[in-house]
Amino acid sequence: MTLRFYDSATASVRDFVPLTEGRASVYYCGATVQGEPHIGHVRSALAFDQLTRWLQAKGLEVTVVRNVTDIDDKILVKAVENNEPWWALAYRFEQAFEDAYDALGILKPTYEPRATGHIPEMHALISLLIERGHAYPALDDSGDVYFDVRSWKQYGSLTRQNIDDMQAAPDADPRGKKDARDFALWKGSKPGEPETASWASPWGAGRPGWHLECSAMVTKYLGTEFDIHGGGLDLRFPHHENEMAQSQAAGHGFANFWMHNGMVTFEGEKMSKSIGNTINPREMLQIARPLVVRYYLGQAHYRSVLDYRPGSLTEAAAAVERIETFVKAAVSQAHSNGKVSVTGNLPDTFTAAMDDDLNIPAALAVLHETVRAGNTALAKKDIEAAGVALEAVVSMTDALGINPLDEQWARGGDATAELAALDVLVKAQLEARAQARTEKNWAESDKIRDVLAAAGIDIADSANGSTWSLRR
């Protein structure tokens, strides 16, 4: 089957044919760094990380650009509230986002441009739009520059909306606009705003409008036409609609595919900064390991709503442990050297599921079926079959970014020495217990197990001896 993705612009699943053979260019909207990341931000980045990994697995050379919006109204407001320079606040939260992405193994984009670093590119785009008759300086003397929505007849096409049918914003302030729907490309400086948040421009000092940065940056790094533009579903309108309008009005082909990930809800309600029902990745990481959090956030189809509720992570942990238990057992029995290479040989059913608009739930079904087959092989002492299953499982998990053998998920480096020491001590206990068991001294055997269990160490007996693991 060929690679297909759902394209929001046409509301249909289409074959994905890269504009340049062998390559793929992806731009997706990162965060406005005005606060701590919440799980929804991470899910979005994860969805596009899964996309990136799959494009790579298909042999494409992928260029990924994710923006950082480091200047906007809220950043300025919050900086004042915090009595902190806006740029310090933006940078601080940018780091918090990076930390959250890193913790979950989200691959670094090829490049991560900041809005404030691309003012000249934005000016050039504004000038071009004015020349072409699609933008105009504000009719009052605010110093704003607006996109002229009525001048672009395709406006609304991304979300298939008609301007006249749209509900007017309740706080519609016409300011110097020709139409209430016109949006700011450039915002003139207002009294009281910090000088550091103001840049000179042909239309007066000011700062960029939100939508403009993406159009300017995507063109700079990926060209006037590129393969995929992604982002959260909530960005579809107005942000992506506006982006598309201004870029196409400037004569650019722009995105070939638009991909939008679904929202994360909290017990049925959308999580958002403005409502305040958010979950911090840090909080999730306190109740589950990074690998489990990644598995949980990535297990549903990227376009589905993902509803978080207490207990979700416990269930995900059970599923992850099932995979890990098999991999661990198979490595020790089928790969005595402990080295398992990612072959990239994926079951056809897995590939077919992934090719079909990244159907990860179906791909995970293949993964779990392979785990079961592997476990059965181990039970039958069919080492060859177990080895085959092991390689398939490792390759599949690797393609999804949840390979339990990946050093990304290894415990922190600091713990290595402690673990090694613990291993020596626990192994001594296991030997004593093995002795007791050969003597059928079950009381002693169980006592040793209980003592270890009380310390958070679980032991498991098998035909090949006993193994231990730290309860997590």
CA–CA–CA angle 221, 46, 260 (5° rounding): 70
Cβ distance to RNA smaller for residue 18 or 158:
158
Q: Does residue 29 have a known ligand-binding role?
A: yes
Residue 161's identity, in one-letter code, is Q
As measured in angstroms, the least distance from the Cβ of 258 to RNA is: 12
As measured in angstroms, the least distance from the Cβ of 76 to RNA is: 12
As measured in angstroms, the least distance from the Cβ of 91 to RNA is: 17
**Residue 188, class by beta-carbon neighbours within 10 Å (0-12 exposed, 13-18 middle, 19+ buried)?**
buried
Task: Measure Cα distances from 418 to 291, 410, 411 in Å.
Answer: 21, 14, 11
As measured in angstroms, the least distance from the Cβ of 186 to RNA is: 15
How many Å apart are CA 383 and CA 374, to the nearest integer?
A: 9
Cβ distance to RNA smaller for residue 19 or 328:
328
As measured in angstroms, the least distance from the Cβ of 307 to RNA is: 5
User: For the chain, what is the total number of helices (H) and then of strands (E)?
Assistant: 14, 15
How many Å apart are CA 227 and CA 158, to the nearest integer?
A: 16
CA–CA–CA angle 369, 373, 378 (5° rounding): 145
Question: Strands 145-147 and 184-188, how do they pair?
Answer: antiparallel
Q: Does residue 214 have a known ligand-binding role?
A: yes
DSSP 114: B
DSSP 372-422: HHHHHHHHTT-HHHHHHHHHHHHHHHHHHT--TTSGGGSPPTTHHHHHHHH
Task: Go through 233-247 and write b for each residue having 16 or more CB atoms within 10 A of its CB, e for each that does not.
Answer: bbbbebbbbbbbbbb
Cβ distance to RNA smaller for residue 82 or 341:
82
As measured in angstroms, the least distance from the Cβ of 21 to RNA is: 28
Cβ distance to RNA smaller for residue 86 or 326:
326
As measured in angstroms, the least distance from the Cβ of 334 to RNA is: 14
Nearest to 435 by CA among 467, 465, 470: 465
Location of structure tokens 């840090």: 282
Question: Strands 135-137 and 145-147, how do they pair?
Answer: antiparallel
Cβ distance to RNA smaller for residue 172 or 421:
172
Which parts are annotated binding residues for Zn(2+)?
Answer: 29, 214, 239, 243
Which parts are annotated binding residues?
Answer: 29, 214, 239, 243, 273
Which parts are annotated binding residues for ATP?
Answer: 273
